[in-house]
Amino acid sequence: MTIYHAGDDSQARPYIDPTPLPDSIPKVQEIGTSSAPLKSAAFFIGAYCKDYNEDFMLCKQDAKGDPGACLKEGRKVTRCATDLINKMRENCLETFDKHWQCLELHNQEYYACRKDERALNKCMFEKLGLTKTIPGSPKGQTPIHDVAKPIYTTVQR
């Protein structure tokens, strides 16, 4: 396997992509968020970017695996998610940080971080009007993230 090194001091300079995307493709800033914040924001991304996400996935279904077919829809998806993360940081930075740091410490399990999650959900509903809903949960039951005394908890509450 060959690894591209542009000269000896390539480590000292910032990385320059030798084969960037063609200029005909509009540039989009990648989201750059790590897994715990993404998991913390997942249900809000699902609620906030529903239309873009569905559009993209339907396009992908028609494209039959061609990565170049849905770049436009894909950019919309990324922009929407970036927009949401920015809004979350503007409005609920404290609760958001607390929740994803809790997820980071607890193997990214939601059930271990209900306290912080409820604070975040409350803030998100008050500031942005977004609620967490899990599709397909049984009707007439408390959704799992609102159960007051769950059976599965961490050892230390």
Q: Of 11, 152, 155, 156, which lies in the binding site for another protein, with binding defined by CB under 8 A? A: 152
Distance in angstroms (rounded) separating the CA atoms of residues 127 and 121: 10
Residue 154 in the binding site for another protein (CB under 8 A): no
CB-side neighbour CA atoms (13 Å) of 6: 9
In the numeric block, the tokens 């005909």 are attached to 24
Contacting range for another protein; rule: CB under 8 A; set: 93-101, 118-126, 149-157:
149-157
Under rule CB under 8 A, which residues in 99-128 are in contact with another protein? 110-111
Q: Of 10, 34, 61, 137, which lies in the binding site for another protein, with binding defined by CB under 8 A? A: 137
Least Cα distance to 33 among 128, 129, 111, 97 occurs for 97
Q: Of 64, 107, 148, 156, which lies in the binding site for another protein, with binding defined by CB under 8 A? A: 64
Q: How far is CA 45 from the centre of its chain?
A: 6
Site track 7-36 with another protein (rule: CB under 8 A), x = hit: -----------xxxxx--x--x-xx-----
**Burial class (CB within 10 angstroms; exposed 0-12, middle 13-18, buried 19+) of 37:** buried
Q: Which residues lie closer than 8 Å to 69 by C-beta, 6 or more apart?
A: 59, 60, 62, 63
For residue 97 the two structure tokens come to 């940080």
Q: Of 37, 45, 95, 100, which lies in the binding site for another protein, with binding defined by CB under 8 A? A: 45
Shortest distance, position 112 Cβ to another protein, whole Å: 11
Q: Which stretches of the chain bind another protein, using CB under 8 A?
A: 1-4, 18-22, 25, 28, 30-31, 38-39, 42-43, 45-46, 49, 52-53, 56-57, 60, 63-68, 70-71, 73-75, 77-78, 81, 110-111, 134-138, 143-145, 147, 150-152
